[in-house]
Structure formats: C-alpha cells, structure tokens
C-alpha cells in the first residue's frame, strides 16, 4: 500500500511533545514544508496549532485562524511558530486544509519568526 503524500497547508493530527519533552498528546499541526524539503529530508516540517487563543493573542509570530472550521478544527485555533520535523510514518490523519488567506498570513508570521 503506497504511503499517503501530505501537502503544504494541510492540517494533520500528529504526536506532539511539549518543549521540555515531559510528555505529549496528539495535536493538530500544519504542514509548512515544501515537496523539495520532504524529498530531500524524508520528513515533514510542521507548525503547532493550539486552541489556547488568549495565551497567543498579540504574538507577532502566531496567527489566529479565520477559517478554522474549514481547516477541520473543532474550536478557534492559533498556528504558532513552534516547529517540529516528523517522519512520514509518524503522520496521522488529515483533519482539513487552511484557506488561502490563513496560509498567506501564516507564511508572513513564520517569516517574521525566522527572520527570513
């Protein structure tokens, strides 16, 4: 059975560990890597998505999703600049896809976070 190919802009459920590696849960994450990155590295680059909107309001490197329901999320959510790489074998199910306007804003916020 061929492996599923994931695409930039898709929201996927993945195992996400906390930044201190004390534990983790299955959480939504946004695929931000390009096909070139995945072909070269064999992994995907993802940005964490959180429902803790108030804690991230006003952060210049986070984006509150406008079309969160279309992205397959159950509640209003924020894409953060907390990034991870994950192997194809660890990827979960697709929840949805970001709208073009949300993806454009996420790109701008990540450029600011990474200084590129």
For the segment(s) 10-114, the CATH number from 3.60.40.10, 3.30.360.10, 3.40.630.40, 2.30.30.110 is 2.30.30.110
* Domain segments of the chain as ranges: 10-114
Please name the residues in contact with 90: beta carbons below 8 A apart, sequence gap of 6 or more. 14, 15
Is this structure's pTM higher than 0.85?
yes
pLDDT tens-digit profile of 16-70?
766 665 667 888 999 999 999 998 998 999 999 999 998 888 899 999 999 999 9
pLDDT tens-digit profile of 17-29?
666 656 678 889 9
How many helical (H) and strand (E) elements, i.e. helices and strands, does the chain have? 3, 6
Backbone dihedral angles phi then psi of residue 44, each to the nearest 5 degrees = -115, 150
């Amino acid at each position: 059975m061929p492996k599923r190919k994931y695409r930039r802009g898709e929201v996927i459920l993945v195992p996400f560990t906390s930044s201190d590696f004390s534990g983790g849960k299955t959480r939504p994450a946004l695929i931000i890597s390009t096909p070139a990155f995945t072909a070269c590295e064999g992994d995907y680059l993802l940005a964490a998505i959180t429902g803790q909107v108030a804690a991230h309001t006003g952060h210049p490197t986070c984006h509150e999703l406008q079309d969160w329901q279309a992205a397959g999320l159950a509640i209003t959510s924020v894409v953060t600049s907390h990034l991870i790489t994950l192997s194809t074998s660890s990827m979960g199910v697709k929840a949805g896809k970001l709208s073009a306007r949300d993806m454009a804003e996420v790109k701008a916020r990540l450029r600011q976070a990474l200084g590129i």
